[in-house]
Structure 1
Amino acid sequence: MKDVMYFDQAASSWPKPPAVMDAMMICMQDYAANPGRGSHQMAVKASRVLFETRKNLARLFGIKNPNDLSFALNTTHALNQAIKGFVKPGDHVICTNIEHNSVRRPLEHLKATAGVELTYIRNDEEGNIQLEDFKKALQTNTSLVVVNHSSNLLGTIMPIAEIGEICRAHGAKLLVDAAQSAGILPIHVGGMHIDMLAFPGHKGLLGPQGTGGLYIHPDIDLEPFMHGGTGSQSEAIHQPTVRPDRYEAGTQNTVGIAGLNEGVKFVMAETIEKIHAKEWRQTQMLMEGLLGIEGVTILGPALGQNKTGIVSFNINNADSSEVAFILDQSFQIAVRSGYHCTPLAHESAGTLAKGAVRSSIGYFTTDEEVDALIYAVKEIQSQYAK
């Protein structure tokens, strides 16, 4: 039973489909052995579930070889593997102003420690970028372009396929942060010219926390982020060359991946198109209601524009943390306040001084909950207006 009206889907989706929880419990009870490390029936069963999940993710993202997809703890883990495993000293990297700190901090670390050049593409207040700016930013030593598919503050959707075409024409690789789009927006790595795709399992894919992954194009060899046991080529002193073992040192989260498998199957059964259409309709419903409240300002794309289910807003000059606290304590509504790990996006939106309240819609959000959030914001705004 849902005691809380949950509008923090952009941080982690909730609730999960019952099959996700059932699969995790069955795994714990029946076959929670070490996958790839033994030949007994429990270990074999664990390995099969991991490979089935890999195959389902490959189908969802248009990946030809499931072994080109390695599991990760989360998007941050996957992004660090991609960035630090690919970028070399003296390289030039391009990203945007609306990247999450999971992109910005690894890149700034390489800039400070490895002499990597870094260019940020500026966006407008709604989060939109100009493709021409990417073309102008390209240099002879540009090796990588990193772009999030959808802003975790503004909900803006980036033109990934067009950016991918620019990268391909120049010879640079494209890394996409799909933290806010995997399971919500269509993704096809071939059709969109994506060379690496980092994604979470615990958001739009409806799996548990501690799951995620990284797709790596077969022509790319990353330096492994971690080294250790893989259950293969154990006689070698160096990390195996075979995929996905090369990027999966240590015991995998079998229980979590079993749950993720069911989340992915749920998404594929419902279809991405149906999921996005439902979330977009409720996003417009929420935006229209909030825009009808005097003193409320909404960040990101305007009403009617395509975006993900993120609606960030502010009430007059109210502190975003205080608004979130009141929503939680007085109305049992869960939202996220502050800077959302993306200060440059707040800078471009003009909210760096105070942050914002971020509400985010998921597949199980109801119309009644959207109405309740609108009512609660109206009540809070009336108190600040006095």
Structure 2
Amino acid sequence: MDTIVYLDHAATSWPKPPEVMEAMRLAMEEAAANPGRGSHRMAVKASRVLYETRKSLAQLFGVNNPNDIALTTNTTEALNLALKGYLRQGDHVIATMIEHNSVRRPLEYLRRTRGVEVDYIPVDEEGRLDMHRMKEAFRRNTRMVVCSHSSNLLGSILPVAEIGELAKRHGAVLLVDAAQSAGMLDIRVQEMNISLLAFPGHKGLLGPQGTGGLYIAPDVELEPLLHGGTGSQSESIDQPSVRPDRYEAGTPNTIGYAGLQAGIKKVLELTPSAIYHHEWELTQYVMEAMLHLRGVRVLGPRLGEARTGIVAMTSDRLGASELAFRLDREYGIAVRSGYHCTPLGHMAAGTEQTGAVRASVGYSTTKEDVDRLIMAMSEIHG
């Protein structure tokens, strides 16, 4: 592969730590049997991989019982499990304008098929949530609040603890989409009153694609999204009642979860706060440089304010797709262009007609990497 400056960590982190690849190799050699489906040594090792992954996730998110974490293939599956498994006919949901389609599309499906009512609370062009509007949106039938912890377009960070307290006061559960925050922001589910936490394995947790999960508070019951074999309560025609088996039908991605556990260990070693600080400093450095380029607009929070490792921008000289294409082909820089699966976020930013180019950094991104981006953008807009 030609040398690449990888600035697409908000989609998938890369490169993975060597420990992740080694853990996956070892699991393929020693634990590649079906977990929970046999008593032989390889099956037992496979079960141990899954349990140790849950333990590491519980440590990261402040979860008391690792079995309250259902392992999924990605955040999208976790969100679908939470939304479709909890909401019933006539329920009301409060969401926000920065939601990813992984939240919005299931909600709109439930609106059509179950009569679920949905309100999307506005954010301003910098991604700040209108908390006054949110407080006014609660109804007698409000059963859930769902929000992205951080916008995948703007990088803005929502006040999840404040939202959680508000939801608790009104007897609603809080579902948090942690696609852009898990591993980068400190998350403590009990302290923040989070009842449901959906997260990916392949982004800030540094694991492989095809991994993720959903924390389900002990007092929350969901209808399973999938029904099938689990290796437990096999004599019953119904899905098992015990966690996590109730929510994990079928053969899991044991090899992937071995890699995820190694990724989480790396995050715990570095600490999310240190990773956030590293990424924040890089975003500030890029933003400051972009603000001096004529015709470039940087989206999201202003310089000096909190944000995750995302810098999305527009150019009055090139469309988003052409700009991303040139950065890739002429400079070897990988970024993301388009609408980033968040049309409401683009409406808030005023970019629904143009889309945007998103550069996103990770724990392994260096100053030299972002210097390459700054140089390229300077040449293109010189």
Q: TM bucket by the smaller chain?
A: over 0.9
Is residue 150–residue 181 contact of structure 2 (8 Å, CA) maintained in 1?
yes
Q: Give per-residue Cα distances to partners, 1:182-240, cap 9 Å, x unaligned.
A: 00000000010000000000000000000000000010110000000000000000000
Alpha-carbon distance between aligned partners in 1 of 2:286 and 2:193, rounded to the nearest angstrom: 34
Change (3 A) 1:32 1:320: same
Aligned to 1:24: 24
Q: What amino acid does structure 2 have at the position aligned with 1:251?
A: T
> Where do residues 180-329 of structure 1 align in structure 2 (5 Å cutoff)?
180-329=180-329
Tell me the distance in 2 between the aligned counterparts of 1:107 and 1:230: 28
Partner of 2:362: 362
Q: Whole-Å Cα distance in 1 between the matches of residues 318 and 3 of structure 2?
A: 27
SS at match of 1:357: strand
Report the counterpart of residue 170 of structure 2 in structure 1: 170
Cα offset, 1:263, TM superposition: 0.1
Q: Which residue of 1 aligns with 2:44?
A: 44
User: What one-letter code is carried by the residue in structure 2 that aligns with 1:88?
Assistant: R
Residues 106-125 of structure 1 mapped to structure 2, 5 A cutoff: 106-125=106-125
The amino acid that maps onto 1:217 is A
| Residue of structure 2 equivalent to 1:149 | 149
CA deviations 1:329-366 (Å, max 9, x no partner) are 00000000000000011011010001000000101011
CA distance in 1, matches of 2:46, 2:31: 6
Q: Show CA shifts across 1:276-332 (max 9, x none).
A: 111111110111111111111000000000000000001114210000000000000
Equivalent residue for 1:104? 104
Aligned: 1:338 with 2:338: yes
Matched, 1:66 2:58: no
1:3 deviates by 1.6
How far apart, in 2, do the equivalents of 1:126 and 1:291 lie? 15
Gaps of 5+ in 1: none
Q: For residue 130 of structure 1, report the CA deviation from its aligned partner.
A: 2.2
Give 2:129's aligned residue. 129
Q: Which amino acid aligns with 1:141?
A: N
Structure 2 unaligned residues grouped into runs of 5+: none
Q: TM-score, normalised by structure 2?
A: 0.99
Give the AA of the match of 1:238.
D
Retained in 1: the 8 A contact 2:30–2:45? Answer: no
Cα offset for 1:2? 7.6
In structure 2, C-alpha distance between the alignment counterparts of 1:97 and 1:379, rounded to whole Å: 35
Amino acid at match of 2:334: A
The 3-state SS of whatever aligns with 2:381 is helix
- Deviating above 2 A after TM superposition, structure 1's stretches of 4 or more consecutive aligned residues are none
Identity %: 62
- Partner Cα distance (1:154, 1:2) in 2: 30
> 1:30: Cα distance to partner?
1.8
User: Please, which moves more after superposition, 93-102 or 372-381?
Assistant: 372-381
**Alignment correspondent of 2:90:** 90
Q: Is the 8 A contact 2:313 2:357 kept in 1?
A: yes
| SS of equivalent to 1:85 | helix
* TM-score normalised by structure 1 residue count: 0.98
- What amino acid is aligned across from residue 157 of structure 2 in structure 1? I
